[in-house]
Amino acid sequence: MAPRGRAALKVETAAALLYTGQDVARFCEVDLKTIHHWADRGKIPHHRTEGRHLRFRRNDVVRFLRAHAYPLPEELTAVRAQAAVAPVAPALDAPSEGEPTEAIDPDEQLAKRLSSRFVVRRHGSAVAAIARALVDGVDALVLGLDDPSIAGARTVAALKASTDSAFLVVVAVGEGPALDDARAAGAELALARRDLGGLPRELGRVLGVG
Contact 177, 149 (CB under 8 A): no
**Residue 161: how many other CB atoms lie within 10 Å:** 11
pLDDT at 14 over 50: no
Q: For 30-46, what is each residue's pLDDT tens digit? A: 999 999 999 999 999 99
Rounded distance, CA 78 to CA 81, Å?
9
- Percent residues over pLDDT 70 in the chain: 85
pTM of the full structure: 0.82
SS3 210: coil
Q: For 81-125, what is each residue's pLDDT tens digit? A: 999 999 997 644 444 555 555 456 889 999 999 999 999 999 999
Rounded to whole angstroms, the maximal C-alpha distance in the chain is 66
**Kind of pairing, strands 54-57 and 18-20?**
antiparallel
Shortest CA distance to 110 belongs to which of 31, 30, 171? Answer: 171
Q: Which of 66-70, 97-101, 163-167 has the lowest mean pLDDT?
A: 97-101
Within the chain, residue ranges assigned H as helices are 5-8, 21-28, 32-40, 58-67, 74-77, 106-115, 126-136, 153-161, 177-185, 199-207
Distance from the first to the final alpha carbon of the chain: 25
Q: pLDDT value at position 99?
A: 54
Domains present along the chain, CATH in parentheses: 5-77 (1.10.1660.10), 82-207 (3.40.50.2300)
Question: What is the 3-state secondary structure of 119-151?
Answer: EEEECCCHHHHHHHHHHHCCCEEEEECCCCCCC
Rounded distance, CA 61 to CA 137, Å?
15
pLDDT at 208 over 70: yes
